[in-house]
Structure 1
């Protein structure tokens, strides 16, 4: 054992002191989350990420490659740049085609193809840890919930129905339309949800995992909580300007439950 390692170990707290040291950041995070969510009466969830990993059984990278192959088989691969052909995100590919042929039959066909992939992916989608409990808790204490997503609303509804969560959101599921210019970061789906629920913007919160979610919330005047399941996603959200991030929904669920208990009659 080197002197350096001895000094390092000597500076590490153990016993009750260690527990106190580890508990402090969690207490700070809980206090921050409480401050963020206490005034909230309307919550807008992005779907793929905060609620589930839609393409857990079949990676989105594979779907994007299949989409590029679909174009190639029809002699249309030249519509994409080399960078777009290598994109791991099928929605980036879809947007790229739409920019060059907006509202065309080709875009309609591609959008329908992607919708079929999303519907098929529901069967193997992986729920985000603690989100079911969070959704049910918020719904039980009277918070109004909506989904605001770039996914097809029919795929969202199918997934939520399979999980027994549809009644927590229905009818407020706002997803992709055939006008792809309205995908996030455009705030269109966020604005639709706010208007339909009669939501006050100061009492609304959006939970998302991508910079486009943050930008859409910012443009709509809604506070934002980022869900970053890894450091890469956290870096992207911070770079976009997001201030409040969590890497798990466990503590958020506990905070929401505790707030609900204090408000209960």
Structure 2
């Protein structure tokens, strides 16, 4: 047995150990299922939101580090923390949703994600989406890929209460409750530390998907893959 073969066997074993107890698989959307902002870049969306805030004379509501993050969700959550339940937050969320809907038309499928989703459903697992993105954008994308029936009606995305975005486990808990599933019988697939933190808070085992595993490993994730090809083989093998 070569070192590469032994490493593959070890990874297969750890994947099988993770997925065997899982009756429900909770998917993050942007990353594990697709690259939502493959063409329309998230950084540009963040800049557009900041430009709009500047035009309203509200640029100062963001700290320098928040502006430099170029993450639309950081901007949205930060403004909500300072102006909760305001028309400003409602308008920002609406603008972000419109950008996500626009991006869903050009989103790039994550390699192996489509067959993995269909295979997992075919072998009897139940699937849900737990995401910080707009559920409208998620549905648009799933419809374009013929995947709606794999998840519907279990799509749990951003709500009006923006403080419940991950790392808060709210969307995971909604899915678990609706599907009548104990946390130990579920598996969360996510690509960010906020996904991992939400899974830990909800008591759900976690599988990371990321090209750069270090942030997730530093956060405490035990298993991180950079491709779903091996996971697909494990699911297909039963």
**TM-score range relative to shorter protein:** over 0.9
- SS for the counterpart of 1:124 is coil
Q: CA deviation at 1:198?
A: 0.5
Matched, 1:34 2:16: yes
Q: CA deviation at 1:239?
A: 1.9
- Return the structure number with greater relative CO, CA threshold 8 A, min gap 6: 2
1:117-147: CA deviation from partner (whole Å, max 9, x where unpaired): 0000011101100010110001111101000
Matched, 1:109 2:99: no
Matched, 1:203 2:182: no
The equivalent residue for 1:248 is 227
Larger CA deviation: 43-52 vs 81-90:
81-90
The equivalent residue for 2:168 is 186
Number of corresponding residues: 238
Q: CA deviation at 1:176?
A: 0.1
- What is the rounded CA distance, in whole Å, between the counterparts of 2:93 and 2:102 in structure 1? 14
The equivalent residue for 1:148 is 130
The equivalent residue for 1:118 is 100
Q: CA deviation at 1:87?
A: 1.6
The equivalent residue for 1:94 is 76
Is there any run of 5+ residues in structure 1 with no aligned partner, and where? 1-16, 260-265
The equivalent residue for 2:237 is 258
- What is the rounded CA distance, in whole Å, between the counterparts of 2:40 and 2:109 in structure 1? 14
The equivalent residue for 2:58 is 76
2:216 paired residue among 218, 225, 237: 237
Q: CA deviation at 1:21?
A: 3.1
Matched, 1:163 2:145: yes
- SS for the counterpart of 1:243 is coil
Is there any run of 5+ residues in structure 2 with no aligned partner, and where? none
1:52-109: CA deviation from partner (whole Å, max 9, x where unpaired): 0100001111111111001001111011111212222110011110110011110011
TM-score, normalised via structure 1 length? 0.88
Larger Rg: 1
TM-score, normalised via structure 2 length? 0.98
The equivalent residue for 1:4 is none
- What is the rounded CA distance, in whole Å, between the counterparts of 2:187 and 2:196 in structure 1? 11
- What is the rounded CA distance, in whole Å, between the counterparts of 1:126 and 1:246 in structure 2? 19
| RMSD (Å) for aligned C-alpha atoms | 1.0
Q: CA deviation at 1:26?
A: 1.1
Structure 1 stretches of 4+ moved >6 Å: none
- What is the rounded CA distance, in whole Å, between the counterparts of 1:133 and 1:212 in structure 2? 26
Matched, 1:22 2:4: yes
- SS for the counterpart of 1:147 is strand
Q: CA deviation at 1:167?
A: 0.2
